[in-house]
Structure 1
Amino acid sequence: MSAKTKIVVLHMKELIFTGILAVLGIFLIIMLLVMFLPKDGSTKENAESTGKYQPGVYTASVMLNDSALDVQVVVDENNINSVSLVNLDETVETMYPLVKPAMEELAQQIVDTQSLDNITYSQSNQYTSIVLMNAIEEAIEKASLD
């Protein structure tokens, strides 16, 4: 025998384990690529599936003489969930008795129609309703994605 001749002994068990590990490694790399590479259609779907509003609670202030009154609007992605008054003090409620009924009337219409268009005001609290509608519009503009 010459000094250059080498005998290599391969065990069948080692070959099988090496083959299985190679296949699992290739499978893992393919799965990572599939999971983390962006798809062209996914960005278009996300842009189309976004709603009209940024979900959250938004407020706008109304000044009534020296008192600040906050109008709070709660929205999710596509809906106006509630419209209410916050920081309604007893003195403000006593001095401006039309504020609370006007807000309740407006809130009901806005939540039912999901729009600020075609809102009706009663004759007795028309000006109060207009002031409150301006504050509601301001809060919804803060929530709007447009």
Structure 2
Amino acid sequence: MSSKTKIIVLHMKEVVYTTVFLALAILLLVVFLIMFGSGKKESVKKPAASSTSSAESARYIPGIYTSTISLGDQTFDVQVNVEQDRITSISMNHLSETTAAMYPLMEPALDSIASQIYVNQTTEGLIYGEDNRYTSELLVSAINQALDQARNPSAAE
């Protein structure tokens, strides 16, 4: 038996690529485990930890609620994100560039209304200028529709 020595030549470029791809694969595996592994455990634990009395006293059912606004042949959504007792965010979705150009007061009006709603946690008593009165009323109406969907029917108001 003769043993012959084999020489393997590795280029540094190949070693670096292999190391980078291996690190990315491990990182991707960890991210998947965190996303899909712990999410199921938390969702199982949450209902068991919450009591029925706190669920009944909640003002809103937590989630993301939308209301659609139609302007001409264009439509877009007003999205309201709520927690049990507060409104956390209000935004517009699917607003095309054409609609934004045709109705330039939409975004500034929504920002103004949203900041007031975050402070007061209600759509009552909002202050808006005469130059964007109708735009603001349209947005407040859409926000109220989304909040009506979010209201907890068992909450005593």
- TM-score of the pair, normalised by structure 2: 0.62
1:50 aligns with 2:76: no
**Secondary structure in 2 aligned to 1:58?**
strand
Deviations 1:69-110 (A, max 9, x none): 100000010010011111111111001001111111111111
Q: 2:114: which partner in 1?
A: 107
Q: 2:88: which partner in 1?
A: 81
Which runs of 5 or more residues in structure 2 are unaligned?
1-50
Cα displacement (A) at 1:132? 0.6
Aligned-partner Cα distance in 1 for 2:115–2:121: 10
Q: Map 1:1-146; keep pairs closer than 5 Å.
A: 46=53, 50-146=57-153
Identity of aligned residues (%): 39
**Secondary structure in 1 aligned to 2:92?**
strand
Bigger-Rg structure (1/2): 1
Aligned-partner Cα distance in 2 for 1:55–1:49: 12
Which runs of 5 or more residues in structure 1 are unaligned?
1-41
**Secondary structure in 2 aligned to 1:118?**
coil
Equivalent pairs counted in the alignment come to 103
Aligned-partner Cα distance in 2 for 1:73–1:48: 20
Cα displacement (A) at 1:121? 1.2
